[in-house]
Amino acid sequence: MSLLQDVAVGEPDPIRAPRVSGSVLRTVGSKVLRAVITLGFVVVFNFFLFRMLPGDPIGLYTRGRNQDAEQLAELRRELDKPILEQFLTYIRNPFDPGIDSTRFSRPVWEMIGERIWPTFLLLGTAIILASIIGIWIGIRAGWKPGGRFDKISTGTTLTLYSMPEFWLGMMLLIVFSVGAFGIPGMFPVGGIVTPGVDTSTPAGWLNVLWHMVLPCTTLTLIYLADYSLVMRASLIDERKQEYLTLARAKGLRDVMVRQKHAVPNALLPTITLIFLSLGFVVTGAITVETVFSWPGLGLLTYEALRGPDIPLLQAIFLLFSIAVIGANLIAELLYVVIDPRVRS
């Protein structure tokens, strides 16, 4: 934890509280407005996108079931309302708790509510771990490019990055869950909690933590390169800057030059990247959720697509759009705060 603080708080200048001026407000206002317009567009687009999917959901569901044509026609009539009427109902309140999934006959937002926390927990933890470790690796590698640490770390993170998620997950599962090469299986094969364990107790939290180790490790290893490479590249750029020569000329030790001068400036693109990737925290990682049977949103999306369960898909995609647009907005606003050049 202290690593990040070291680097982030090291240089007070860029992080000083922004003076609220008219231009800043205008910048912020236009960014928020743009986000809202994008969101509005997505809400409308979402509706028509899923109406274009082929398929007769009723017919497909009931193929091989004991139902006659009149029953099917009746079911179909219930769904077959004029497109305009459907759109007006939808646009009035896309978050209406009364919207039911066609497949599960349950309110879609309630289902999403159940699935969002496992995804949030898993992806959130993985992104935090990956960014902390990635930034640390990036700093070490970027400060001495071509050095031994750089060669090893860049090679390793790139290798991990290019691995298919499900394959890495499956390997970890076989080795650390079932046990192989003399390593005993220590972690569960799948799920988020042992059936019967109450998750509201400390023992329950530890049980969840135990289930989270392998999927979280998989995601962290895969995402590592995202952060370490960006951090490394921007630090390499900073190394050429003349203000560092000045800092050295002042007689500062190398570590001071790095931590107090180079890193805070090199950190800007990485921080943006972290906030952008936070948008994907809710979308889930479908492959890793599949390998480890993690009951998250990624899996729910897959189930919804199999239908296709249009109300559920619509709600999920709306949520994803909000998350991505929201994260983008936060990243842009944060830039205003941390980068004085944007303000002026």
Residues between 178 and 197 that touch other proteins (CB under 8 A): 178-179, 183-197
Residue of 206, 243, 246, 340 interacting with other proteins (CB under 8 A):
206
Which parts of 102-131 interact with other proteins (CB under 8 A)?
Answer: 103-107, 111, 114-115
- Which of these ranges, 154-162, 177-185, 274-282, 315-323, lies near other proteins under the rule CB under 8 A? 177-185
Task: Report, in Å, the least distance between residue 157 CB and other proteins.
Answer: 16
Rule CB under 8 A: say whether 69 interacts with other proteins.
Answer: yes
- Shortest Cβ 239–other proteins spacing (Å): 14
> Is there a contact between 267 and 135 (Cβ–Cβ < 8 Å)?
yes
Judged by CB under 8 A, does residue 152 bind other proteins?
Answer: no
Q: Is residue 11 at the binding interface for other proteins, with CB under 8 A as the rule?
A: no
Q: Where does this chain touch other proteins (CB under 8 A) — which range of 35-43, 230-238, 241-249, 255-263?
A: 255-263
Q: Which stretch of DSSP H or E encloses residue 125?
A: helix 108-143
In this chain, which of 87, 117, 120, 136 binds other proteins, going by CB under 8 A?
A: 136
Instruction: Name which position in 50, 303, 330, 334 contacts other proteins (CB under 8 A).
Output: 303
299 near other proteins, judged by CB under 8 A: yes
Of the pair 26, 306, the CB lying nearest other proteins is at 306
Q: Output the furthest CA–CA distance in the chain (Å, rounded).
A: 88
Q: How far is the CB of 140 from other proteins (least distance, A)?
A: 8
Burial of 82 (0-12, 13-18, 19+ CB in 10 A): exposed
Q: Which residues contact 69 (CB under 8 A, 6 or more apart)?
A: none
Nearer to other proteins, 73 or 88 (CB): 73
Of 71 and 159, CB closest to other proteins: 71
**Is 293 a residue that touches other proteins (CB under 8 A)?**
yes
Peptide bond into 308 cis (omega under 30): yes
User: Interface with other proteins by CB under 8 A: which range of 22-30, 228-236, 264-272, 291-299?
Assistant: 291-299
Compute the C-alpha angle 314/316/318, nearest 5°.
70
Phi and psi angles of residue 179, each rounded to the nearest 5 degrees, phi first:
100, 130
Task: With CB under 8 A as the rule, give the number of residues binding other proteins.
Answer: 80
- Pair of tokens at residue 212: 């989270």
The Cα–Cα gap between 341 and 335 comes to 9
Cβ neighbors of 187 (< 8 A, separation 6 or more) are 176, 177, 210, 211, 213, 214
Q: How far is the CB of 235 from other proteins (least distance, A)?
A: 14
User: DSSP letter at 95?
Assistant: T
Stretch that binds other proteins, among 13-21, 43-51, 84-92, 201-209 (CB under 8 A): 201-209
Give strand pairing partners of 100: 107
CA dist 325 → 143, 277, 319, 331 (Å): 34, 11, 10, 10
d(CA 116, CA 135): 27
**Which C-beta is closer to other proteins: that of 50 or that of 136?**
136
Binds other proteins by CB under 8 A, chosen from 18, 29, 55, 155: 55
- 98 vs 94: CA distance, rounded Å: 10
Q: Per CB under 8 A, which region of 88-96, 203-211, 233-241, 323-331 contacts other proteins?
A: 203-211
8 A C-beta contact, residue 222 and residue 161: yes
